[in-house]
Amino acid sequence: MTYKLVATMASGFEAITAKELNDLGYETKTDNGRVLFHGELEDIARTNLWLRSADRVKIILDDFDAVTFEELFDKIYNMPWDDYLPMNAHIPVNARSVKSKLFSTRDIQAISKKAIVKKMAEVYNRRNGMLPESGSTFSIEVRIIKNHAEVTLDTTGDSLFKRGYRIEHGGAPLKENFAAALVMITNWRSDMPFWDPTTGSGTIAIEAAMIGKNIAPGLNRHFLFEGFNWFDQQILENQKQLAKSEIKDVKLNINASDIDQNMIDVAKLNANNAGVLHDINFKQIALKDLKIEEDNGVLIANPPYGVRMKDTEEVHILYKQMGDIFEKLNHWSKYYLTSDLDFQGFYGKQATKRRKLYNGAIRTDYFQYWA
């Protein structure tokens, strides 16, 4: 059976996720901050396993116009719920509404849930009209945009940024899928030197190493579809085996440094969990003391940005050091992610390109200096 599928991602990364899907062999259509494609169960497993920049993969179960709650109830009730949901399914329902007559997400949620439960209780002969909801989770979303409703089933569960390699340590780590997208935006290839001079917990360097070695980002985590009774678990197992066989045994030249030894220790633990500890040269060193000997590399930095006045001054000194040191490198492309929108002034050079990205709720710019 072929399903209508949708990959969701942070705004600004649609083209990156679409390219990832194209590279995996899928035809895509980008629509409203998400990427649509088609696939079978095998493709659901494969895309969950392989997509680096996306948040989740969902099945579009149905879509229809709805301008009254009666209409919404009836159309949801008429869907063949027992094709997807077993009698004991745990069924969280989320709702969204944009520019629609039905705008109360609480009511959309409650009415949708009621319609699903009524239908299921009838089909499964539940005399009291209730469902036990004691089984696997089938997470449903009803989103209504301009009076057109779409009902989706999440196949992912915890967002795909949770690869399973990160230890908790506080700090301000980038999400793994955000870091992977930062790497994929660059022209880096696995035979080029790579440097992250403010590596923190190592996310960018670890994602680069996983890209370089072709390690599927989802190999060490679970997905919601593993709990679906109609999903043959062997499909995921086969995809995992295939992914393992596709890991490349290449020598990488990835370097990750930070002024803070504690962060280097954290980054090493994360890299070890991700299976790339020996693919990254970690080093505790202040940026001003860095000596980079190679040519033709890619540097990505996510430097601190100042919140308090004193920090701000220090941060601006750091940005100036970055300009002084990294602009002298031979044929390196450099990329800086910061929420300090005056970055270029302190760095001392106008970027080739600037890309607006949201790191969670924080507006940041990705300042790109191409070789």
Ligand X SMILES: C[S@@+](CC[C@H](N)C(=O)[O-])C[C@H]1O[C@@H](n2cnc3c(N)ncnc32)[C@H](O)[C@@H]1O
Q: Which of 156, 198, 344, 359 forms a contact with ligand X (CB under 6 A)? A: 198
Q: Looking at beta carbons, which residue is closest to ligand X?
A: 200
Q: Which of residues 162-191 bind ligand X (CB under 6 A)?
A: 172-174
- Segment contacting ligand X (CB under 6 A): 26-34, 122-130, 258-266, 357-365? 258-266
Rounded distance between C-alpha atoms, residue 337 and residue 181, angstroms = 12
Q: What span, in angstroms and rounded, lies between the C-alpha atoms of 150 and 58?
A: 11
Minimum CB separation of residue 319 from ligand X in Å reads 10
Q: How far apart are CA 46 and CA 34, in angstroms?
A: 18
Stretch that binds ligand X, among 23-31, 63-71, 125-133, 299-307 (CB under 6 A): 299-307
Among 156, 186, 201, 344, binds ligand X (CB under 6 A): 201
Contact status: 274 vs ligand X (CB under 6 A): no
Residue 121 CA, chain-centre distance (Å), reads 36
- The single residue among 302, 333, 344, 368 that binds ligand X, judged by CB under 6 A, is 302
Number of residues that bind ligand X (CB under 6 A): 19
Q: Does 21 bind ligand X (CB under 6 A)?
A: no
Q: Residues 312-331: x/- map of binding to ligand X (CB under 6 A)?
A: ------x-------------
Choosing from 24, 145, 269, 287, the residue that interacts with ligand X (CB under 6 A) is 287
Q: Is 134 exposed, middle or buried (0-12, 13-18, 19+ CB in 10 A)?
A: exposed
Determine if 265 is a binding residue for ligand X (CB under 6 A): no
160 is a site residue for ligand X (CB under 6 A): no
Residue 303 sits in the site that holds ligand X (CB under 6 A): yes
Taking the C-alpha atoms of residue 272 and residue 182, their distance in angstroms, rounded to an integer, is 21
Cβ distance to ligand X smaller for residue 227 or 304 = 304
207 binding ligand X? (CB under 6 A): no
Tell the smallest beta-carbon distance from residue 86 to ligand X (Å): 40
Residue 17 CB, shortest distance to ligand X, in Å, is: 20
Asked whether 64 and 105 are in contact (CB, 8 A), the reply is: no
User: Least distance from C-beta 286 to ligand X, angstroms?
Assistant: 4
Q: Do the Cβ atoms of 190 and 165 come closer than 8 Å?
A: no
**Comparison of 108 and 318: residue with beta carbon closer to ligand X:** 318
Pick from 61, 93, 90: nearest CA to 78: 61
Among 124-132, 141-149, 199-207, 344-352, the segment contacting ligand X (CB under 6 A): 199-207
Q: Is 286 in the site for ligand X (CB under 6 A)?
A: yes
- The amino acid at residue 224 is L
**Residue 218 within binding range of ligand X, rule CB under 6 A:** no
**Among residues 259, 269, 277, 325, which is the contact residue for ligand X, using CB under 6 A?**
259
**Distances in whole angstroms, Cα of residue 82 to Cα of each of 24, 118, 119, 121:** 31, 12, 8, 10
Under the binding rule (CB under 6 A), the answer on residue 264 touching ligand X is no
* Minimum separation from the CB atom of position 62 to ligand X (A): 39
Which among 270, 273, 157, 254 has a CA at the least distance from the CA of 211? 254
Q: Which of 109, 112, 203, 364 binds ligand X (CB under 6 A)?
A: 203
Q: 11 with 33: CB under 8 angstroms?
A: yes
**Residues engaged in binding ligand X (CB under 6 A):** 172-174, 197-198, 200-201, 203-204, 258-260, 263, 286-287, 302-304, 318
